[in-house]
Amino acid sequence: MSDQSNTSGDQVSQEINKEVQQVASKAGYNIDGETADKIGDGISEALKKFGGSFGN
């Protein structure tokens, strides 16, 4: 895997985590970065199953 594709995957992961925090905030929940990361990882894994190589 090249550094560029890894950076792209990291960037997508960071965006997912940021969106998770924003959605949780709108729903009235205050989650920390670690929790958002775990939720984001789960979302990424689910999207990979349905959409192929999402985030890679």
For each of the chain's 56 residues, which pLDDT tens digit applies?
Answer: 445 555 677 888 899 999 999 999 999 999 999 999 999 999 988 888 887 655 55
Helix 33-51 and helix 3-26: axis angle, to 10°? 120
Q: Where are the domains of the chain?
A: 9-53
Contact between 55 and 44 under an 8 Å Cβ cutoff? The reply is yes
Q: Which residues contact 9 (CB under 8 A, 6 or more apart)?
A: 55, 56
Whole-structure pTM value: 0.71
Distance between start and end Cα atoms, the chain: 9
